[in-house]
Every structure is written in structure tokens, then in C-alpha cells.
Structure 1
């Protein structure tokens, strides 16, 4: 088995100082192997996007290790990060806001080539190749972003990310801003590029259906902590954590004849400034006991290489909503 390309261990990010910082990410650990796609899923405020930015060192971690190809980059000075930035790139959620409206596509895609001194003497040719790789005509390189649809702009963002031939892509909600009619096209393109280029991905989404389609493994996040992690099949077909069960039951693809868990997620996600003691999910969990307020549950082996964070030994797979 290949060694991990990316290893994250005990990753923590607090914003602000003093006695009550915003605890955005708390002790998150995972690994991604070459060519593998790991999905991060959870409600808004769960820390997904923060983790993506930490992995790329767009944010400085408070604690923890980030190892890329065996090298810990968590606290590497900026001057040492240039080689890493060529090997890891990001695709953003908003395909319009992430593109400079004053630049033509040839310069949007080409600036990455310039930054890393690539394709000297054949910049225009290389930009054309990248556009065709993502399904756009090379002749469109002279256009501005506003001349494209949302789906086409996301393809431009992909071409820009792929310009430096990265090994890892962090895709932060890459289809959530697109019309439903073009989401499938964008996802199919990303799957094709992943296979053709042997890309590893950290795929961030609030949509379990999308994550199930795209990912080999899934990590379910709640209030900055991993609640469950495992293969896509394991997490979506045999979930062990109550939070994962509730997310699945709320999915539009949920079995209409099965008992629902959608009403189990009562109220809002707690504030990361004052998270609940013990298990952070206990204030919304239908199975919570007094012990859940006392113990931060470690990840327990669920078989097949998966794990879940719950101190209870028995959790019903399906429960009628109260």
C-alpha cells in the first residue's frame, strides 16, 4: 500500500486569544494516499473549510502536524513553502469571485505558470492545453470571466489549479454555487481528471450524496471534531455515529419508507466559543446520557478501517423521530 501523501495529526485551530477563543478545529487527524479522495462533510460551522485552508497553509495551525510527502509543513516558513504550493492547489466554492474579472483567461491560468517558471516559451500553448483538458475551447483564452457561465468559470478555476501539475487538490464546496443542471457535469469532470492525472483530493461539502459519489473515504465533522471516518460505503450504508445517521436521514435520497431521523437534529450547532463539555454533539443527540457530558469520546474502531467517536456501545441504526 502506498505511503500517505498527506497526513494530518491532531490539527487544531483557535481564532482569537484569551479565555474564550473560537475553537474552529480540535484535534483532527486523517491521511490521504496518492490518487485517493477523502470527503469532509458536516453542517455549516463544522470546520470543513478551515481544515482545507490549514492543509494548504493559508491559515496557521494552533497545534498539530501537517505532513506532505513525509515533510512536516505545519510551521515551515513561507520561503520553504514554494515547492509545496506547486504540489497542492485549491479549487474554490465561488467560481466567479475566485477569478480576477480584469484578467483574460490566458492570464488567469497562465499566472500560475509564471509564478513557478513553467512552460517558458510555450505559455500560450500550455494554457490552451489546460483549457481543453477541462472541456473548454483553447480559443476562449482571450475572453474575460464574465463571458462564461458558472459551470464554465469553475472549469477555468480547475484549469488554473491544474496548471502546475499538482498531486493534491483541495476542493472547497466546488459545485455548491452551480445550478443543479450543471453540478453533475462538474462532478463527472472532476472524477475524470482524478483518474487521468492520479490526483489526490480533499473534497469538502455539506452534501453527503455528492461526497458519497466522489470520495473513497469520508470524515464526518461536527463542531471542529471528527465524529466518524471510514470508507464511503461504510459511512453511508452502515453509519455508527448518531450525527452521521441524522445527516443521512436528512438527505434527499433517504428511503421514503424508512423511519426518519431528520427531527433528531433539533436546534442549531452550538457556538465554537463555548462548545459543550464532553461530547460536543450531546446537546442534540437523542441517545445522550449524563456520562456524555463528562468524557470527550475518542475515536473507536468500527471495523473495515473505520472509526467513530461515541462512548455508547449500542446505537439503533434507525429510530422513529419523536
Structure 2
């Protein structure tokens, strides 16, 4: 794995609406993604994960901040440069039912990207579509079927094949298994992991499930109300978390051992409205350790070790999380 950043996000923010009804969905988010690396974005619904994925692909424009891909600024790139960028970066969407055009055959769905970028025509186009379907575990003969003739897991495989058609270097996977049956999720996750390693893909993996992110990713960024609460290697964040929110997410994950000692008390209440976020630390209204300072002052990311950062005024050790 290369240590040079493939994707760099710096001070990224995104707001929707107008005052006094301004919603700040993403607030000053920064991270980088190396070639061949998988970074997981995890957090509850409403934390800004999917918005970051769409910002990174320029499907929506940022309100502030910069996006660099292979060292080139694409934040305000013109359509011509953006077209070249999108051959290098593709998305796998959450809902395989909604992301495939029901009126098109699979050959048209997967082949559309080949046509748009002029990558293959005629018999070469058909051969490439067949190759892509077989790569994701579907028979080539299925290319003339319509999406309604497939199961949810098969449809997501078609979505993955479509994303791989232009031979991208970066895949942004937005909750790619949350709409699938549990029995199928593991199959799709294993496929994505295998393809990532075989093709040397970098991946931004978005999920609300910390266990899935731990399985799939080299590093994890924990988001809450549009801000990064903690970021570091999977081992550091999942095994030695420093932020109370990260530990609360871990505590909420079911464990098969009923005799295991209790974890830190789980979260209560809902994530606050982004229309009126709490002052200071946005997590303070649900934090067991909040004090007066948390309402006055927003914490900044600080180091907890090599490449491990967390945004909390206090360093509550992992040993205190039981």
C-alpha cells in the first residue's frame, strides 16, 4: 500500500438552506486516503457520512474546504477535468433497488460507463461487460436481463460491476449492504474486500455499523453531527477508543457472550437536530462525562498516539470504559 495520499479532504464543510434555517451537514472535516487503503466513515444516521461521500465525488458542491485527488484540486474543477476525475473515482450506492434503472437491461446499465468514456465498442464492449459480471460472481448470460429479475444481493453486484467498468482507483461505498438481507451481506462484503485487494482499490466505506467497518477498513473516522470525533487505525479506534461517543457505539454492538462484563452505558436519546446543534461540543448533550467547559468550548482533534486523534477535552482511558 502506498503512503502517498490519493484523496485529501481539507476543512470540508457543507450547509443546506438559508438562515435562520441553515443546516450544517458537514463541519470542517479533514482526512486523507492513501492508494489501496480503506477508510471507514461510521456514525449514526444524520452524522454527515453520505454527504461527505457525495462531496468527495463532486456530486454536490462544498460550501467550504478543498478536495484534492492525486494532488490536483478538484473542488471547483470544470466539467472537462471532472469527467477525467470520475473515471478514477466511482460510487456504489446504498439501495440496489433505486440505483439501477428498471427500464434498462444489465448490458446497458454496466455498459453505459463504457459508452460515456469511449472505452469499448462492439464485440469488445460485450466482452468487457461479460468480464465484469463474472468478476462480481454473476453469469455473463445474465447481461440481457432486467433488474427486477435479480435478488437484492445480485443487484448490488451489478452496481459494483458498473462502478468497476471504468477501472477506477477509488470506490466510495455508501452503506452498500444495509438494504440487503443479513444472509447476503457477508457475501457482498467478502466480494468487495476481495476486489479491493485484487484490483488495488482505495475505498471510502460508509456505514452505521462499527463491526462491519472494523472488518472492512484499515482506518476508521467516527462522525457525529457533521464533525470527526475520532480517527485512527482500526486497531486503535476499535480496541483503544478515546472518545466517549466511539465507546458508546462499541457498547451498542451486540455481543454473543451473555456472561461478559458490562460495557460503558449505551447512548440515550437521539442525535440533535443540525438546525440547532448544541453549543461547544456537539456531543455534550448525550455524553456521560460532560462538564460546563463542554458547553462553552468546542474541542479540537488532538493526538492520542501515532496517527490517532480524538476531539474531547478529556482523555478518558479505555480501561475506564467498562
Q: TM (normalized to structure 1)? A: 0.96
Matched residues in 1 for 2:262 and 2:254: separation? 14
Shift of 1:119: 1.3
Indicate conservation of the 8 Å contact 2:242/2:315, yes or no.
Answer: no
> Which string of whole-angstrom CA distances, capped at 9 and with x for unpartnered residues, describes residues 142-181 of structure 1?
1000111110000000000000000000000000111111
Indicate conservation of the 8 Å contact 1:61/1:74, yes or no.
Answer: yes
Aligned to 1:297: 299
Which of 284, 302, 308 lines up with 2:286 in the alignment? 284
Indicate conservation of the 8 Å contact 1:250/1:261, yes or no.
Answer: no
1:168 partnered with 2:186: no
1:53 partnered with 2:54: yes
Residues 254 and 202 of structure 1: CA distance in aligned 2, closer, same or farther (over 3 Å): farther
Aligned to 2:151: 149
CA RMSD of aligned residues (A): 1.3
Indicate conservation of the 8 Å contact 1:240/1:317, yes or no.
Answer: no
SS in 2 for 1:38: strand
Structure 2 unmatched runs, 5+: none
Indicate conservation of the 8 Å contact 1:245/1:317, yes or no.
Answer: no
Matched residues in 2 for 1:152 and 1:94: separation? 12
Aligned to 1:118: 119
Aligned to 2:262: 259
SS in 2 for 1:26: strand
SS in 2 for 1:81: helix
Residues 87 and 316 of structure 1: CA distance in aligned 2, closer, same or farther (over 3 Å): closer
Aligned to 1:230: 232
Structure 1 unmatched runs, 5+: none
Shift of 1:294: 1.2
Q: Which moved more, 1:11-20 or 1:67-76?
A: 11-20
Matched residues in 2 for 1:316 and 1:124: separation? 54
Which 4+ stretches in 1 moved above 3 angstroms?
253-256, 313-320
1:311 partnered with 2:321: no
Residues 110 and 262 of structure 1: CA distance in aligned 2, closer, same or farther (over 3 Å): farther
Q: TM (normalized to structure 2)? A: 0.96
Aligned to 1:76: 77
Matched residues in 2 for 1:286 and 1:80: separation? 48
Shift of 1:20: 3.9
Aligned to 2:92: 91
Indicate conservation of the 8 Å contact 1:88/1:169, yes or no.
Answer: yes
Indicate conservation of the 8 Å contact 1:220/1:229, yes or no.
Answer: yes
Aligned to 1:40: 41
Matched residues in 1 for 2:88 and 2:32: separation? 16
Indicate conservation of the 8 Å contact 1:209/1:253, yes or no.
Answer: no
Indicate conservation of the 8 Å contact 1:259/1:318, yes or no.
Answer: no
Which of 232, 239, 242 lines up with 1:240 in the alignment? 242
Shift of 1:77: 2.4
